[in-house]
Structure formats: C-alpha cells, structure tokens
Amino acid sequence: MSRPAWRDRIAEARAQREADSRVRVRRIVSHRDGARCIVEGRSLLNFCGNDYLGLSQHFAVVGALQDAASREGAGGVGSHLVCGHHQLHDTLERELADWLGAPRALLFGSGYLANLAVLQSLLGDEDVCVEDRLNHASLIDAARMAGCRLRRYPHGDAEGAIRQLRSMPEGMALLATDGVFSMDGDIAPLRELALVARVQKALLYVDDAHGVGVVGPDGRGSVAASKLGVNDVPLQLATLGKALGGYGAAVLGEADLIGHLAETARPYLYTTALPPAQAAATLAAVKLARTEHWRRNKLDELVGRFRERAQRAGLALMDSQTPIQPVLCGDDASALALAGALEQAGYWVAAIRPPTVPEGRARLRVTLSALHGVADVDGLVDAMAKARDRARLGLPAAGSRETVVTR
C-alpha cells in the first residue's frame, strides 16, 4: 500500500507555506478598549477589525447582553425547531426584517452557515450557481457543497454574468454576489445584476455582510443603496458580527423562500440556536444603527480623510468608498514587512495574501471604525509612508483587478 502518511502531507504543506510567506498566525487579544487592543502585552490601535459602527462595546449593547444572560442563561440549549427558538430571536428577526424592508428574516449562527444553507437548500445537481470571482469563500464553498454547477464571472462584470447564465440554460439558476466586497471594499453593480437575473429568470442572492449598517439609507445596505427591493433581490444576507458588533447572521427575503430555508436548510435544522442574550445584544445594536446616523457620517469623513492623505503620500489605493481601504503591496513579503513595521509603530493592520486575494495582489486591509479619530487616521497614514520609505518597498500602483482568485 502506497498511501501517503498524514504527517508527511501536513509537513510538506507547512514547508510550502513558509517558503511562500503564507504562514498564518493567531494573535492573542487580552483586552479591547474602544479602538485599542492589548495584543500579547502591547497596546495597538486596531485598523483590521470589522466593528465599523463601534457598537461591539457600546454600553446599551453590552447592558442588553448582560441583562438577558442573567434572566435567560448563557446558551441556546437546542436547535430552533426543537426548543431553542426564544422570544428574543423572534423579536430580532422581526426588527431586522422591518429595518431592511423584507417580509421575513431567519437567524443563523454565522454568515458562513447562512450561505451554506441558502445554496444547499435551493440548488441540486442539475442546477447552476453563477458567482462573482471575488465572492467570499463561503459562497464558493456553498456552491461546491450543494453539488450544483458553479460558474464564475469576472469581478463586477454584469455582462460576464449573463454570458455564464446563457451558457447553462437548463435547471434552476441562482446568481450570487457580495454586496460590498470584503477584500476590495467596492460595491457590486446590483442594478445591472438585478436586470440580468430578471432576464435570465435567475434568483439573485446578495451577501451584504459588509454593507448592512454601513451604506445605504439608514444603513440598510447595498441593496437599498441601489434602490432595489425584495422583488429585485429575493434573498439577502446580513451578518450580525460586523457593523452590528455581535455574532451570527440573518437571511432576509420573500416569505416563501425564508419558510423553505427554515424547514429544509441543514445548517439551520441541525445546529444550536444563538444564545438569547446574543440576540438581545444585537437587537440593541440594530436600534442604534437605525437611528444614530452620525456614526455613518463620521465613517464617511474618515474614509475621505484616509483616501486624501494616502493618495498624497503615494500609497496604492483601490476604488473603494467604504470603510474597507486596501493598500496594495504586490508580493507577500512586502505586505508582511509593512504590517510588521506598522505594528512596531503601534498600529495593527492585517496583511492579506493569496489565496484570499489574487496572486501578486497582496495588500494591507485597512478598516475604519466610528471609534477612530482624525488623529488616528493621520497617524496611520504617516506611519505607513515612513515604513514604506525606510524599507524602500516598491509598492505597486493601483491597476486593473485580477479576475482569477482561488478561495
């Protein structure tokens, strides 16, 4: 028998990651205070989290969590369809549906689970899922696990999407895209994609994990920002762990579709419900996100400030007007070197490397939060420019995006 030994397999894979500067290391955060973190004994200003509205530590959100936990306990105790569906879950689903203008919402443990649930419950072997090449990994994995035919189109290319749909005329078709792309920060051409879906009789599904709370009227996300509704986008995803500062996700859309997911989606049927206390915390966060418009206004000002100063400093930005501001570095080693220099200066910015992004497109993924101040942004840009100059890194200009990525 010539079966390979598992120890040899993982040792070879590790050696290859080391050679490619692609080793991933967990960092231990011992305390968070606003935008600052204590990371392995050092205080760093965090520019790599997704707490866009600064709600994760808000006193009303934390208070709701503590109060509900004291009354209802720490866990969800069972799946939603057995004994885990609490009144707080129901209230949160109704609040989310009302905010985002959908007939119904369904809670999930994470955005990853929600994407698996949608595609696996709707698509089979004879169906097709057409996706943007830069979609989140969970959408790619969901299509592969559903067993359907997966077709991908060039990033943001609605004409590419219609070509892929036309090439697969049989079976049900689902067109899936991120709303705000997590690594580039740009927004999908949703109006064009909605037209494509209508013409091709495909179901349009938008993963708006990084849009809800941040863009659109009252923070209702990229679908609302594109002036679309449930008739155009029958299903959309909102995560609860980014702009809302908590954990979990919700799929929102037409009542019949949501009912189908609730009765058939394996990632919903066979997992424990979110703790009711977490639902209470998110409910408080949603109410703040809906009413405290100054948080989005401040974010817009910080994004503009960052982009103006970064461009003046000659940093290679991408076309993003959201709190996700990638700074291109080119090769993996340059991205790691720049991230390390920034950490020494007191700033925590993640180096993002393939396969998360295309080959040759390693970057620093700067994320802004309403917790940051103008001085924080100015200091970061100055530190980035100085680190680049000291290392003499030849950072690339922002050119056309790659259209092939493995996730």
The pLDDT of residue 333 is 87
CATH topology of domain 26-53+293-391: Aspartate Aminotransferase, domain 1 (3.90.1150)
Confidence of residue 22 (pLDDT cuts 50, 70, 90): confident
What whole-number distance in Å separates Cα of residue 31 and Cα of residue 16? Answer: 34
With tokens 């220099």, the residue in question is 341
Q: Is the CB of residue 101 less than 8 Å from the CB of residue 230?
A: yes
Q: Is the CB of residue 214 less than 8 Å from the CB of residue 296?
A: yes
The pLDDT of residue 388 is 86
Alpha carbon dihedral 130, 132, 136, 139, in 10-degree steps, equals 0
Q: Is 356 annotated as a binding residue?
A: yes
The pLDDT of residue 390 is 84
What whole-number distance in Å separates Cα of residue 94 and Cα of residue 111? Answer: 18
What whole-number distance in Å separates Cα of residue 326 and Cα of residue 306? Answer: 11
Of the candidates 365, 273, 314, the residue with the CA atom closest to the CA atom of residue 75 = 273
Please tell me which residue, 123 or 21, carries the higher pLDDT value.
123
Q: Is the CB of residue 177 less than 8 Å from the CB of residue 206?
A: yes
Q: Is 291 annotated as a binding residue?
A: no
Number of residues that make up the chain: 407
Instruction: Report H helices in 229-293.
Output: 255-264, 266-269, 276-291
CA-based max dimension of the chain = 66
Q: Is 24 annotated as a binding residue?
A: yes
Which CATH code fits 59-291? Answer: 3.40.640.10
- Laid out side by side, the sheet with 128-132 consists of 104-108, 249-253, 235-239, 203-207, 173-178, 128-132, 149-153
Q: Among 56, 182, 334, 369, which one carries the catalytic annotation?
A: 182
Of the candidates 372, 368, 364, 360, the residue with the CA atom closest to the CA atom of residue 388 = 364
What whole-number distance in Å separates Cα of residue 79 and Cα of residue 167? Answer: 40
The pLDDT of residue 41 is 93
For the chain, where do the domains classified as CATH 3.40.640.10 start and end? 59-291
Q: Is 353 annotated as a binding residue?
A: no
Q: Is 111 annotated as a binding residue?
A: yes
From residue 205, give the alpha-carbon distance in Å to each of 105, 114, 294, 356, 373. 14, 12, 30, 22, 35
- Confidence check: pLDDT of 278 > 60: yes
Highest mean pLDDT of the ranges 19-28, 285-294, 384-393: 285-294
The pLDDT tens digits of the residues spanning 42-60 come to 999 999 999 999 999 999 9
From residue 152, give the alpha-carbon distance in Å to each of 196, 243, 360, 386. 14, 28, 20, 40
Read off the pTM: 0.93
- Confidence check: pLDDT of 65 > 90: yes
Annotation marks residue 210 as catalytic? yes
* Dihedral of alpha carbons 315, 321, 325, 331, sign: negative
Token pair listed for 172: 């049900």
Mean pLDDT over 314-342 rounds to: 93
Q: Is 73 annotated as a binding residue?
A: no
Mean pLDDT over 269-288 rounds to: 97
Phi-psi region at 49: left, alpha or beta (left = phi > 0; alpha = psi -120 to 50)? beta
- Confidence check: pLDDT of 401 > 50: no
Q: Among 242, 298, 369, 372, which one carries the catalytic annotation?
A: 242
Q: What percent of the chain has pLDDT over 90?
A: 86
Annotation marks residue 287 as catalytic? no
Quick check: helix, strand or coil at residue 130? strand
The pLDDT of residue 330 is 81
Mean pLDDT over 378-384 rounds to: 97
Residues in contact with 15: Cβ distance below 8 Å, sequence separation at least 6, in sequence order: none
Annotation marks residue 182 as catalytic? yes
Q: Is 247 annotated as a binding residue?
A: no
Mean pLDDT over 167-172 rounds to: 90
The pLDDT of residue 406 is 36
Q: Among 210, 222, 226, 334, which one carries the catalytic annotation?
A: 210
The pLDDT tens digits of the residues spanning 237-255 come to 999 999 999 999 999 999 9
Q: What is the mean pLDDT of the chain?
A: 93
Quick check: helix, strand or coil at residue 86? coil
For the chain, where do the domains classified as CATH 3.90.1150.10 start and end? 26-53+293-391
Q: Is 239 annotated as a binding residue?
A: yes
- Confidence check: pLDDT of 360 > 90: no
Mean pLDDT over 351-379 rounds to: 93
Q: How many helices (H) and strands (E) does the chain have?
A: 14, 14
The pLDDT of residue 407 is 44
The pLDDT of residue 136 is 96
What whole-number distance in Å separates Cα of residue 88 and Cα of residue 95? Answer: 10
Token pair listed for 221: 């996300």
- Confidence check: pLDDT of 400 > 50: no
What whole-number distance in Å separates Cα of residue 293 and Cα of residue 283? Answer: 17
